[in-house]
């Protein structure tokens, strides 16, 4: 259990949030032009990072807003929280 600093509501307990996996995966611009393998890669394949990982969260029991955070998958420490559309900040473990 940890506290997450919602960019809109402030610090709240993890139970109010839901994690939706790796952030910054661009949707292919022209899905019809790519192969099934490439499409499947976009849909299903994710990195399994040990260390700093950028992921999407939603404050689903609060303001229902999506945002990104950078988390160290080794220590579970949250290193940065930033809004959708913002560039991922450079963080140190």
The binder of Zn ion chosen from 25, 34, 58, 63 (CB under 5 A): 63
Q: Choosing among Zn ion, other proteins, none, which partner's interface includes residue 10 (Cβ < 5 to 8 Å by kind)? A: other proteins
Output the smallest distance, CB 6 to Zn ion, in A. 3
Sheet-wide strand order for 18-22: 18-22, 52-58, 66-72, 78-83
> Least separation, in Å, of the C-beta of 17 and Zn ion?
8
Work out whether 6 is an interface residue with Zn ion (CB under 5 A): yes
Residue 21 CB, nearest approach to Zn ion (Å):
19
Residue 21 contacts residue 71 (beta carbons within 8 Å): no
User: Which member of 55, 56, 62, 82 binds Zn ion (CB under 5 A)?
Assistant: 62
Measured between alpha carbons, how far is 26 from 42 in angstroms, rounded to an integer? 8
**Binding partner at 64 among other proteins, Zn ion, none, C-beta below 5 to 8 Å by kind:** other proteins
CA-to-CA distance for 17 and 73, rounded, in angstroms? 17
């Amino acid at each position: 259990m940890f506290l997450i600093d919602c960019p809109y509501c402030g610090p709240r307990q993890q139970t109010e949030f839901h994690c939706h996996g790796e952030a910054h995966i661009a949707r292919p611009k022209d899905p019809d032009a790519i192969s099934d393998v490439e499409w499947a890669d976009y849909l299903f394949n994710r990195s399994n990072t040990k260390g700093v990982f950028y992921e999407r969260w939603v404050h689903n029991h609060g303001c229902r807003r999506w945002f990104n955070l950078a988390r160290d998958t080794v220590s579970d420490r949250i290193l940065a929280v930033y809004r959708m559309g913002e560039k991922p900040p450079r963080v140190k473990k």
